[in-house]
Structure 1
Amino acid sequence: MKFTRILLFILGLVPFCTQAQLLKAKAKYTRADTLRGMLTPLRTCYDINYYHLDVKFDIDKKFISGSNRFKFTATENFTKLQFDLFDNLKIEKVVYKGANLPFKREFNAVFVTFPKTITKGSKDEFTVYYSGNPVVAKKAPWDGGVVYTADSLGKPFVATACQGLGASVWWPNKDHQADEVDSMLISISVPTGLQDVSNGRLRKTTDLKNGYTKFDWFVGSPINNYGVAVNIANYAHISDTYAGEKGNLSLDYWVLSYNAAKAKKHFDANVKPMLKAFENWFGPYPWYEDGYKLVETPFLGMEHQSAVAYGNKYGNGYLGQDLSLTGWGLKWDYIVVHESGHEWFGNNVTSKDIADMWIHEGFTDYSESLFIESNYGKQAGLEYNLGLRKGIDNDGPIVGPYNVNKEGSGDMYPKGSVLLNTIRTIINDDAKWRDILRGLNKTFYHKTVTYDDITGYISQQAGMNLAPVFDQYLHYKTLPILNIENVNGRLYIRWIAEAANFTMPVKIRVKGGEYKFVTVTNTLKPFEIAGLTKDNVEVDTFNYYIGTLIE
C-alpha cells in the first residue's frame, strides 16, 4: 500500500490527503471502530478454515450478488459469533444445515445465533447470501472499495482494493488480520467476453449460458482478507517461469490486450531480478503453490497475494519519480518491486493488528534498498536508503492504537526502512542480518504476528537487546539525540531519548579516521577515543538516523 504523502511529495496532490483510507487522522474511536478492530470472544470462538466466495458482478449497475461459505473450527463452546459486512450491503439470508439462522446487525458487524451449542474442536459451516452496491472507490487504493472504469477501447475495467477499509466492504468474512483462512475458492461471474483474474490458480472457466462466464480461482495457502482480489477486464495472458529456490515458479502476467508487447518487455526486465534479490534476502517466494502474478489494474498498485495489482504505466520509478531523489529509484519499476516485496512482509508475515502495519510497510520499504544493493552494490542501496529520509515527517508514533483498526504514522514507510538499516549497522554482520531476514520469513511462515514477535526475534538472533531501539523509533515521534559534552577538557556522552533505559551503540571517529563502536546509554558518562576532541568528532549519521548535540 502506498501512503498519501508520497503523492503529496512528488505531485502536490493535496486532495488525496483527505481521501486516504489508511492514513487519515482520527482523534477518538467509536463502538464501530471496536467492533471492526477488536478480537472479541465472538470472533475468537471460531477459526476460519475455508471460504468459498461466489459472486456475480453486474458492471452496468455496479451491483454484486452471491454468497460466501464459511467453514470453521470451534475454538470454544459457543452459540453466537460475529462476521463482518458493510451495512450498505443486504444480507439475504444466513443458512446453517438447510435452515435460516437469525442474525442482528450493528454498524458493519453481523451477529449470528445458532440453534444449539457449537462445541469446542468441532468443524462446522454456514453460508451467507448477500447483494448490493458496494462502495465505489474514488482514489484507489487509498480510499478503498470497487473501481469501475473503462480501458482506452471503452471496455469495462473493474478491480477491488480494500486494505484498511476492510474486505467486508464487498464480501462477508471475519474481517480481522489475525485470522487468515487456510484455503479459499474464489468464483467470480462476469459478463461474457471479459475475464476475471483473482488470487491463486485458475481451476475452471464455465459459460453460464446467461451472458455471464464464471472463473474459479483456488488459493491453496493462507490468505488475508484484504488480499483477496477481483480484477475484470479484456485481458491478454503472458506466461513464464522462474528457476527459484524451491524449483520452477510460474509467472503469469494479465494485462490489457493492447499492452501485451510492452508489458512482456517491461516485466522481463523487472520481475526476475526482483525475485532473485528477494529470495536471496528473505528466503523462497512464499506462494510457489499459488504462483506469482502481476495483474494490470486501473489503480497504481496493491499487494494482493499471488495476484499483485499493477498500474505504474510500464515505466520505472514511482509514476516516473524517484522517491529518494538519488537517481537509484529510476532504474527499476517501484510498483513491481515494492508490491512484490509485500509477498514476504505483509502476505507471508502478517501483523495481527493493523496498528503494527509497520511490519508490512517498514520491511517492504527497506526491501527496495536491498533490491538496489543486489543489483547495483551496497553503497547504492545505502544511498537510496539515506535519500528516503526526505519523506519522513516525524509527526507521530509509527505504532498505532490497538483494537480500533487504526495504523500509526505514515512514517512507517521511510522511517521504518531507515530504522532497519540502523539495526543492520548495529549488528555489524551482514551475513547474520541476512539470516535474520530469512529467519523471520521461515519462523513466521504463513503466520500472523505481533510487535513482540518481530522485535523479540530480531533481538534474540542478533544476540543483543534491541528493544529500546525499536521502542524509541516506533513508539515516539522524536529521534534519539547523541549528546557529546566537553567537561573540563574531557568528553562525556549520552543519549537524549524518551524510551526507558535507551541504549544504542553508535559509530564515532576522529574526522577522516576509522569508525569505532561506542556503547552509549541515557546516562552521561566519560568516553575516550585517541585524539578525539569536540571539534574533530564525526558521528556516522549516514547509517544512523539520529540527532546530534555537541557542546
Structure 2
Amino acid sequence: MKNLNSKPLIAKASQQIILAFAFESHTPHQMKNILTTALLLVALVSSSLGQNWDWGGPIDPLQARFEVKHYRLELELFPESKSIKGKSTVTFSTSTQLDTLRLDLIDEYKVTSVQAKGGELEFSHNNDLIDILITACSCDAVDIFYEGITPIAINPPWEGGFTWKKDQLGNDWMGLSSQGEGAKIFMPALDHPSSEAAEGVDLLITVPKPYFIAANGRLAQVTQKEDMQTYHWSTTYPINNYGINFTMGVFHEEEISFTSVSGDQIPMHAWVLQENKAKAKDILEVLKVSTETHEKYFGAYPWPKDKVAIVETPYLGMEHQTINAYGNFYRFVKMGAVNYDNLLHHELGHEWFGNKVSVGDWADFWIHEGITAYGDWLYYLEHGGEEAYFEKVGGTLKSISHSKPVASPVNSTEEEAYHSEIYTKGAYIMHSLRGILGDEVFFPMLKAFANDPRFTYKNQVNTRDFIDFVTSFTGENLEGFFQLYLYTTDIPEVKISKKGNNGFEVSLQGIDFELPVELKTDKGIETVKLGKKPLLINSKTPPIVDPRGWLMLKK
C-alpha cells in the first residue's frame, strides 16, 4: 500500500524540530549562526526525501484551453551522470486564441530554448510550469529543449522517478515510473489525467552501445552513430501520460506471434536481463496465458497494431501501454494446469482498464484498479475453478477495513484518491455485481463496458458513466447499492430474530433499499430481497445470510 504523504509530513516534522532548537535562548550572533545551520539542515533533509510531485485536481484554466494531439520526445540518456538531454515536440489544438501555452515540467530540469517554426519563443519556467508566449507564432506545435539530472525514485512505483541500477553483469539498468507524479518528471506535458495524446507518441531515445530501449508502440527504426544507438518507438493510439514509458538495459529478447480473439496476429515480446534469459520462454508463456484470460472476460487486446510486451525493470512493476514493467523475480505459482504471476497479470489487465478505459479525474481511480484487481480474481476462476475464486474473495474481504470511500470527491489529486481499498473493495464491488446479476448478465455486461466506444481510447469515463451503463445494460436499479459501497464506508448489518418454533425474521439494517441476497435454510439456498423491513423465514435451522460471501455485510 502506498505510504501516503510520507515525504511532506517527514520534511515538515524535521523542519519543526530543527527550528525549535534554533529558537532556544541564544545571543543574536549565536541565533544567526544556528538559524543558518538549521535552514541548511532543513534543505538537506528535504532534498534527501525528494520532492512531492502530485497531479490531478482541478485543471489549470490556461491548460483547459487546449488539447495535446501528439508528443515527440527525442532524448539522450547519460547513465554515468543519471541525466537526460533532449527535445520534446508538443503538437496541440485549440478552439480559441491562445496567448500562453502552459505545460508542466519539474524545475529540476533546465529549459534552454523553446522554438516554433524555427524561431525562438519567449518562455518562463517556474514552479514546475513552462509558460510559452505564442501570440506571435500562430503555431500548433512547439519544440522544447531541456536537460538535467533525473529525479530518483524513492520507493518505486509508489513514489516514482528514475531508478538507476546495475545488473549482475555490471551493466547499467534504468527504469522509469510516474503514475503518482505524472509525465512532468521526464518531459514537458499537459500533465493532467484528463489529457491524453490523442494521436499517440513517438519516442526517440539515444543510449550508448550495447544498451537497448524498450518503449511504447512498435520499433520503427534503429539508427547508429559511432558508439551511440537511437531507438525510435511509435504508436498512433491515444495514450495517457503515465502510460508513456521507456526502460534501458542489456536484455535478452523472446518473441512469439499471439493470435487474438479478434483474429489479429500481434507480436508478443519479453525483454529480460541477460542473467535471466533461461526464464524468458517461461515468462512469455505466462504472458500468453494471462493475455488469453483477459481477452475471454474483457474482449480483444486493445493495441493490435503495436504489441503485447513486458520488460524487466529494477522495481516491482507498473502498467505502461504495450510495455508493462516487470520486476516480480519470476515468482510463479501453479494455478490449475498453468503458471500464474500475480504482478504480471495485474499490470497486463491495465491494458484494458487504465489504458483503454481511462478516467479523466483521479476521483474515479477505482475503475482502473478495482476492475483490474477483479480481473486477477477471474484468473483464479478460469484456471483454479470456483473454489479457488471464492477462497481468494474470502481472503481479500478480511483485509477491507472500510476506512475510506472507494470513489473520491470530484477533482481529486492522485494522492488523495490512492489507497488500498480502490483495489480490494473496488474488486469486491465487481464480485458483488456478479452475485446480484448472475453470470449470464454480469459477464456480457463487463465485456460490453470494456468495449463501449463512449468510454474507450480517446473518450474517458467516470463513476457516473459506469453506474448508468450497468443500469441501462441490465435494466436493474442498483443506485442504492452503488451509493452505499462506492461513496460511503457504511456496511449493512445482518439482523436475525427468532419468531416461534420455526420462524426467523431477517433484515439488513443501515440501508433504505433492498438487496438480492442468498439465504441458506433447511430447504437449501434461495435468493430473497432483504432490507431494513424484517422478512419472515420458515426454517427448522437458523438461516445463514449470504453463505458464499457475495456481499460485504456485518454478520
Task: Give the TM-score, by structure 2 length.
Answer: 0.85
After superposition, the Cα gap between the structure-2 partners of 1:203 and 1:330, relative to the gap in structure 1 and judged at 3 Å, is closer
The CA deviation at 1:537 is: 1.3
1:200 is matched with 217
Aligned to 2:75: 55
C-alpha change, 1:416 and 1:330, in structure 2 (3 Å) is: farther
Q: What is residue 238 of structure 1 aligned with on the other side? A: 254
Counterpart among 145, 166, 173 of residue 157 in structure 1? 173
CA contact (8 A) 2:63 2:190 kept: yes
Matched residues in 2 for 1:411 and 1:141: separation?
18
Separation in 2 of the partners of 1:363 and 1:295? 24
Partner of 2:21: none
Q: Which residue of 2 aligns with 1:12?
A: none
Structure 2 alignment gaps of length 5 or more: 9-51
Once the two structures are superposed, the pairs formed by residues 480-491 of structure 1 within 5 Å of their partners are: 480-485=492-497
Whether the 8 Å CA contact 1:394–1:478 is kept in 2: the answer is: yes
Which residues of 2 match residues 185-334 of structure 1 at below 5 A?
185-209=202-226, 211-246=227-262, 247-268=264-285, 270-316=286-332, 332-334=340-342
Q: 1:339 aligns with which of 347, 360, 363?
A: 347
Do residues 542 (structure 1) and 548 (structure 2) align? yes
Q: Which residue of 2 aligns with 1:28?
A: none
Matched residues in 1 for 2:337 and 2:411: separation? 36
| 8 Å contact from structure 2 (residues 363, 407) kept in 1 | yes
* 8 Å contact from structure 1 (residues 291, 306) kept in 2: yes
Aligned mate of 1:43, from 54, 59, 63 = 63
Q: 1:126 aligns with which of 128, 133, 142?
A: 142
Deviation at residue 116 of structure 1 after TM alignment: 5.0
2:41 paired residue number: none
Does the CA-based 8 Å contact 1:358-1:398 persist in structure 2? Answer: yes
- 1:349 lines up with 2:369 in the alignment: no
- One-letter identity of the residue aligned with 2:456: Y
Query: Structure 2 residue aligned with 1:438, among 439, 447, 452?
Result: 447
Supply the distance in 1 between the matched residues of 2:53 and 2:340 (Cα, whole angstroms): 39
Find the counterpart in structure 1 of residue 115 from structure 2: 95
Q: What displacement does 1:425 show?
A: 0.4
Aligned residue for 2:222, secondary structure, equals: strand
User: Residue deviations 1:232-256, cap 9 Å, x none?
Assistant: 0011111101211122121011111
Letter paired with 1:167: A
Of structures 1 and 2, the larger Rg is shown by: 2
> How far did residue 80 of structure 1 move?
2.2
Question: 2:127 & 2:337 partners in 1: Cα distance?
Answer: 43
Which of 380, 386, 391 is 1:383 aligned to?
391
* Mapping of residues 108-187 of structure 1, within 5 Å: 108-115=128-135, 124-181=140-197, 182-187=199-204
What's the counterpart of residue 13 of structure 1? none
Contact kept? 1:19, 1:143, Cα under 8 Å: no
Contact conserved, 2:73 with 2:203, CA < 8 A, in 1? yes
Alignment correspondent of 1:26: none
**Equivalent pairs: percent with the same residue?**
28
Output the CA distance in 2 between the equivalents of 1:546 and 1:265: 38
Structure 2: how far apart are the matches of 1:242 and 1:56? 32
TM-aligned CA deviation for residue 460 of structure 1: 1.7
Shift of 1:141: 0.9
Correspondence 1:61-72 to 2 at 5 A: 61-72=81-92
Letter in 2 for 1:263: A
**Which has the higher mean CA deviation after the structures are superposed, 231-240 or 472-481?**
472-481
Separation in structure 1 between the aligned mates of residue 430 and residue 275 of structure 2, nearest angstrom: 41
Name the counterpart of 1:407.
Answer: 417
Superposition deviation, residue 165 in structure 1: 1.5
* Deviation for aligned residue 1:408: 4.2
Is 1:398–1:475's contact at 8 Å kept on the other side of the alignment?
Answer: yes
- 1:532 equivalent in alignment to 2:539: yes
- Secondary structure of the residue aligned to 1:469 is helix
Amino acid at match of 2:463: Y
- Measured after TM superposition, the shift of residue 508 of structure 1 is 1.6
How many pairs does the alignment contain? 504
User: What letter matches 2:106 in structure 1?
Assistant: F
Q: Distance in 1 between matches of 2:291 and 2:363?
A: 28
Q: Structure 1 CA distance, aligned partners of 2:337 and 2:305? A: 31
Tell me the CA shift for residue 20 of structure 1. Answer: 9.0
Question: For residue 10 of structure 1, what is the aligned residue in structure 2?
Answer: none
Paired amino acid for 2:483 = D
Amino acid in the other structure paired with 1:237: E
1:35/1:346 CA distance change after superposition, 3 Å: closer
Residue correspondence of structure 1 range 465-544 to structure 2 within 5 A = 465-485=477-497, 492-497=505-510, 501-510=512-521, 512-521=522-531, 524-529=532-537, 531-532=538-539, 536-544=542-550
- Deviation readout 1:144-189 (Å, 9 max, x if unpaired): 0000000001100101011112111111111112121121100111
Query: 3-state DSSP class of the match of 1:175?
Result: coil
Q: Cα offset for 1:303?
A: 0.7
Alignment partner, residue 19 of structure 2: none
- Is the CA contact 2:54–2:181 (under 8 Å) kept in the aligned structure 1? no
Query: Aligned match of 1:457 in 469, 487, 499?
Result: 469
